[in-house]
Amino acid sequence: MEKPSQEVTVNQARLAIIQGDITRQATEAIVNAANSGLMGGGGVDGAIHRAGGTAILEECKRIVARQGRLPTGKAVITTGGNLPARYVIHTVGPIWQGGNKGEAALLESAYRESLKLAAAKKLASVSFPSISTGAYGYPLAEAARVAIKTVASFLKESAGSLKEVVFVLFDSRSYEAYASALEEAV
């Protein structure tokens, strides 16, 4: 069963966490924890491409042909294809290498660049998965703190279009980590 969501209000925007499947979210955009090649993969990346259909991959291929591989910490936006979300924002989180290789700054950048794209498109709502905490091995509690802190400070700084940011956590362990980070942050 899904856990009830938890939320706070930051600068008139809703910052919420839920446990669930991001491919089913009806926010205007969902964020994909992609890899630099933008060719799909496992985890949430594979789930998004499976649910969204080939239009997403086609657009990713055009982006890579035009600008090359997507560097860690950067983001690009494509159609949502068959997803309920109109757009997918693809970002590349860092691979955990022990914590002294700039991982925290890169993870913060992945969230911030995604939010900047959403704001540039004047989107009102966006959902994030827990970037880097699956195959990329980033310790969950630390990643959750970076994620919540970065989104909260972005919402504080910018009186923009974004009225709702949702973290969609796939499993209860991730949900609990984000719930703790949310409690710490407010």
- Residues designated catalytic: 45
Q: Which of 106, 129, 165, 177 binds ligand ADP (CB under 6 A)?
A: 129
Q: What is 49-65 written as a DSSP string?
A: HHHH-HHHHHHHHHHHH
Measured in whole angstroms, the distance separating CA 17 from the mean position of its chain's CA atoms is 12
d(CA 63, CA 72): 15
Q: Which of 10, 15, 18, 45 binds ligand ADP (CB under 6 A)?
A: 45
Residues contacting 104, CB < 8 A, separation 6+? 142, 146
Q: Which is nearer to ligand ADP, 27 or 130 (CB)?
A: 130
> Nearest Cα to 128, choosing from 92, 89, 182, 157?
89
178 binds ligand ADP (CB under 6 A): no
Q: Minimal distance in Å, beta carbon 159 to ligand ADP?
A: 29
Q: Which of 10, 18, 33, 155 binds ligand ADP (CB under 6 A)?
A: 33
Positions touching ligand ADP (CB under 6 A) are 21-23, 33, 43-45, 47, 93, 129-136, 168, 170-171, 174
